[in-house]
Amino acid sequence: MEPSPWPAVSERPDGSLELEAREGVTESVIRALAQGASPAEAHDGRGVPPPFSVRALAPLPAVPPGERAIAVDQTNHSVIAGETVVVKWFPRPSRAPHPAPGLLAHLAGFPRTATPYAAIFWEDALVALVTAYLPGAQDGWEWCVDEAVAGRTAFAAEIGRLAAELHVAMATPSEIFPDPVRLPPRPDSATRPDFATRAEEALREALTLHDADRPNDPDRPDGQEWLNDAEWLRLHADHLRWELAPLASAGTSPLIRIHGDLHVGQILRWREGYAVVDFDGNPTVTDAEAFQPAARDLAQLTTSVEHVGQVAIKRRSVNPAAMVAWVAAARAGVETAYADALAEAGREELLDRSLLRPFEVEQECRELIYAARHLPRWRYAPMGVLRSWFA
């Protein structure tokens, strides 16, 4: 039998899905999508075998033959077809509603992302996203660490502006989201999102997961007095909780659709500048509210710049004192450019600055939880940032 040119999707007894896109599948799927000359025809399903279906977002360009997988660390399986488009396959597709197709459709015409072409479904589960390939793209865990090592901060103004432009686009009505800005529900409303409780739960979980005494960071010079991470967290728990307090009165910030996982790794530097990708939401948060204060994204971006500083110290042996200065300048650059760009667009109301620090603290708790559960060697980054805040 001819191997199927479409990916193999299997359903396990527990109902979860698994997808395998073997070599050659991406190329042949793109060829099938291109058979429909217009997005409407692709939508008709010509060349698309059920139960697959396609939601076309923009006409596919001509795609030369050939495919190659993207080699960097990634959660999903992205394959470049014909050096023209990227197909991101989801190895564990979910039937839960996925935010990306709607967000990408809403953002049609937003220039600072990889142009989205199509979303591919298997029954009701999103299995792939097709976007433009950005030649020469590097993600921020590469390019931004290089900037840190070199002590340069000019990038900060660019990515701060990019984040603001993204939020302005998110907050601009479209056919997909005619009503993209929500005023917060009244304080007594049952539907009011409870940001304070979620953040406190994250803090409690981060503390619990790090409750045991663990060995000190092996990279520390011997003989230095040093609280291990568990001791440090215990000692600072009350202060961290106190930092979350503004969330209890987070009642006045307007809510918009946010990126939801806006760290430097999602900002690509490519031949023509910077672009933001990966609208899949935050894998470390279950049931995240779709509508959130813009400060949530900005807080994640600024903390990720701080993580870059920690990476530069640990992996590239940069002097920690130099990094303190670099981080301060870089994050100030991001925040200033963000605020300036919102003001230029007449949308200052989108940012409630009082939420920035509490969301940053919550983000660091989520990074600690993620490290404890999935990636122990990452713990040094959020711990390094937290320690630097209280130094």
By beta-carbon proximity to Mg ion, the closer residue of 200 and 278 is 278
Cα–Cα distance for residue pair 67/62, rounded to 1 Å: 14
- Reading the block at residue 236, the tokens are 């600072």
Question: CB of 381: closest distance to ligand ADP in angstroms?
Answer: 17
Q: Is 200 in the site for Mg ion (CB under 5 A)?
A: no
- Reading the block at residue 195, the tokens are 């940001």
Q: Is 86 in the site for Mg ion (CB under 5 A)?
A: no
Site size toward Mg ion, by CB under 5 A:
1
With CB under 5 A as the contact rule, which of the stretches 198-206, 248-256, 271-279, 373-381 interacts with Mg ion? 271-279
By beta-carbon proximity to ligand ADP, the closer residue of 285 and 339 is 285
With CB under 6 A as the contact rule, which of the stretches 73-81, 160-168, 237-245, 364-372 interacts with ligand ADP? 73-81
Question: CB of 276: closest distance to ligand ADP in angstroms?
Answer: 10
With CB under 6 A as the contact rule, which of the stretches 8-16, 250-258, 260-268, 324-332 interacts with ligand ADP? 260-268
Contact pattern for ligand ADP over residues 218 through 257, marking x by CB under 6 A: ----------------------------------------
Contacting ligand ADP within 125-154 (CB under 6 A): 131-134, 137, 139
DSSP lists the bridge partners of residue 88 as: 78, 129
Cα–Cα distance for residue pair 122/55, rounded to 1 Å: 11
Question: CB of 76: closest distance to ligand ADP in angstroms?
Answer: 4
Question: CB of 294: closest distance to ligand ADP in angstroms?
Answer: 21
159 binds, among ligand ADP, Mg ion, none (CB under 5 to 8 A by kind): none
Half-sphere exposure of 4 (CA within 13 A, CB side): 11
Q: Is 74 in the site for ligand ADP (CB under 6 A)?
A: yes
- Reading the block at residue 147, the tokens are 């900037």
Contact pattern for Mg ion over residues 273 through 292, marking x by CB under 5 A: -----x--------------
Q: Which residues bind Mg ion (CB under 5 A)?
A: 278
Q: Which residues bind ligand ADP (CB under 6 A)?
A: 70, 72, 74-76, 78, 86, 88, 114, 131-134, 137, 139, 265-266, 268, 277-278, 280
